[in-house]
Homo-oligomer: A and B are copies of this chain.
Amino acid sequence: MTIFKPIDEKKASSRVKKLFKRIKKERKINFIPNFWKTIANDPDTLERTWESLNQIMKKGALDPLTKELIYIAVSMTNSCEYCIRSHSASAKKKGMTDKMLKELIAVVGMANETNRLVESYQVKVDEFLK
């Protein structure tokens, strides 16, 4: 009841249809994943999110694969299953191997542990880090 349903490509408004077309073209896919179909309930959010993601995830000083790994690390820390799955799929397309994903998980687990050690022991910032 309270959930927004994914917007069907055929029943979408012309603004959303155009955005779906762009997504399929630029991502080289022939269907729209549920994330985009669901946030399409708010066309402003759909457009803004698509444009922001494109600007942020494109090749820069960091390559697109490294950016995907960072994305996955955040999603794991936030326990977002959909995000972990969809960005792992994107990362695999860009060259992530199973071994890389396992190492990524080990780092994410360890960072979450030491983050809490730091807070629990209330470690002071060293002078050389200021």
Contact = CB atoms under 8 A, between A and B. Distances in A.
Determine how many copies of this chain the complex contains.
6
7 contacts: A34-B126, A57-B110, A62-B107, A67-B103, A71-B107, A76-B119, A105-B121
Q: How large is the interface on A (under 10, 10 to 19, 20 to 34, 35 or more residues)?
A: 35 or more
Contacts of A56: 103, 106-107, 110
A61 B129 contact: no
Contacts of A71: 107, 110-111
Interface in A92-108: 92, 97-100, 102-108
Interface in A70-103: 70-71, 73-86, 88-89, 92, 97-100, 102-103
